[in-house]
Amino acid sequence: MSRTLRRGAAALLLSGSLLLTTAACGADSTQSLTTGSAAAVTAAAPSPSASASAERQKLAKTRFVANAGLAAGAAYQWIVKPYRAGTFKKGADGRTFALVKAGLAGAFTYNRLKAAVENAKGDPLLSKAVAPLSSGIDSLKELGTKLRKGEVGDAEVKGLEGVINDLKDAGKSAGAEVKDKVPSASQLSGG
């Protein structure tokens, strides 16, 4: 099989997996109660304690750090680094495959950033620090599509870097330092 055909097949496979798994990445993990009365549920629920609240806050920070770290790692490894190297320019060797990977990374980064903001809501200090970043994160919604199409420019990449750095700074100010963690290929494709 020729190199061009293999690359095309790989690009098609990765794009297809992105389309099939993107909806699953944003699924809500909570389940609704469908049986029993509200009174029975209230009576059976344990009363919240100070230690449970502290544990919830600790878990919120941990989840925030994990999701923000994965977003930062994916953004740097598969978007920022190849962009700076000129891999996204027309005629560059490996451009098509790099754009497909960057498209997956863009969608993954957006998804993990949204999850990090949601996690931050479990800790009051972290929630206040991250709240101003929501509009910047929302501006990245179409980044994956733009990357796949090769329509990304210096402004988009700098905007992505700015959002990631602002999120890291907000986490650090709230006692939740974020370090880049490059996701595995299966994490990136949603598997």
| DSSP calls for 51-100 | HHHHHHHHHHHHHHHHHHHHHHHHHIIIIIHHHHHTTTSTT-TTHHHHHH
Number of domains the chain contains: 1
Does 2 score more than 80 pLDDT? no
Position 146 in a domain: yes
- Per-residue confidence at 131, pLDDT binned at 50, 70, 90? very high
Position 133 in a domain: yes
Position 17 in a domain: no
Position 33 in a domain: no
Position 44 in a domain: no
CA–CA separation, 179 and 171 (whole Å): 10
What is the pLDDT, as a whole number, of residue 167? 95
- Per-residue confidence at 188, pLDDT binned at 50, 70, 90? confident
Q: What is the mean pLDDT of residues 74-84?
A: 95
- Per-residue confidence at 148, pLDDT binned at 50, 70, 90? confident
Position 20 in a domain: no
Q: Is 176 exposed, middle or buried (0-12, 13-18, 19+ CB in 10 A)?
A: buried
Total-model pTM? 0.70
Model confidence over 98-130: pLDDT tens digits? 999 999 999 999 999 999 999 999 999 999 999
Domain extent, residue 169, equals 54-177
* Letter string b/e over residues 126-145, b meaning 16 or more CB atoms within 10 A of that residue's CB: bbebbeebeebbeebeebbe
Pair 123, 54: CB distance under 8 Å: no
Position 27 in a domain: no
DSSP 8-state symbol, 150: T
Position 24 in a domain: no
